[in-house]
Amino acid sequence: MIFSLFFSFVKTIKTKSGIRLNLFLHRALPNLHQPLRHYPIDIFIVLKFILVFLFIFLPENPVNLRIVLYLLIMNVFTYFYHHVWRKPSDNCSHWQARRFLTLMLAIAFNVLCYVYLYWNGLSRIIHWRNSAPSTFFSVLQYSLSNTFLLPCPLSVDNTFGLYLQTTQQVISFIFLVIILSQSIPQPKKEG
């Protein structure tokens, strides 16, 4: 029963994500040269980076917060689904290199989303030890240090901030350990 509920949840998430648009475009344009078929995905990746970067510097807005949270959840789901659950049908070096590059972009996007959450989206709820971060770069450093478990002079001082920091570290663990181990290009076995 738990398995069927879990797979129903995955199917529901899959239907509500940007994956559907990409699959539609791939099916609608089946005769395009292989690199051209990836343009819709590349455009989507660039647009979501631009959108979150703009949200960082716009005034706090609950709609922006919901959009960033949605993009963050879909980022994790998409890469977990495509890199761990579904094995590639094509193991050519171009596909493996592309898969690795998109994973690195997903990790960078994860860092950027948490910069938004710390700096703008949830800043009124987070209490910082000593003083609030004064610059964008100090929050970027804090987000990077959480991603790679490095020391940082900033630290949060309340339970909500610690929960947010923990979610970033768990998502980073998923990306860096589980998905990265599946995404590193493997040399072809000679047989």
Mean of the pLDDT values across residues 27-51? 69
Return the ∠ at Cα 107 (arms to 103 and 109), rounded to 5°: 110
Q: Which residues pair with 156 in a beta bridge?
A: 128
Q: What is the pLDDT of residue 146?
A: 86
Mean of the pLDDT values across residues 56-63? 87
pLDDT at residue 62 greater than cutoff 60: yes
Q: What is the pLDDT of residue 174?
A: 81
Q: Is residue 189 part of a domain?
A: no
Mean of the pLDDT values across residues 181-188? 63
Q: What is the reported pTM?
A: 0.73
**Among 18-22, 66-70, 138-142, the least confident range:** 18-22
Mean of the pLDDT values across residues 131-155? 83
- Residues 169/111, Cβ–Cβ less than 8 Å: no
**Among 9-23, 42-56, 80-94, 160-174, the least confident range:** 9-23
Of 102, 110, 100, residue with least CA distance to 180: 100
Mean of the pLDDT values across residues 2-24? 54
Q: Give the largest CA-CA distance in the chain.
A: 61
Q: What is the pLDDT of residue 3?
A: 46
pLDDT band at 128 (very low <50, low <70, confident <90, very high): confident
Q: Is residue 23 part of a domain?
A: yes
Domain membership of residue 138 as a residue range: 2-183
pLDDT at residue 139 greater than cutoff 90: no
Q: Is residue 77 part of a domain?
A: yes
Total tally of structural domains belonging to the chain: 1
Q: Is residue 190 part of a domain?
A: no
Hey, CA dihedral for 141, 147, 150, 152, is it positive or negative? positive
pLDDT at residue 179 greater than cutoff 80: no
Q: Is residue 130 part of a domain?
A: yes
Specify the higher pLDDT residue, 57 or 187.
57
Mean of the pLDDT values across residues 153-165? 84
Of 169, 188, 181, 190, residue with least CA distance to 80: 181
Percent of the chain with pLDDT over 90: 6
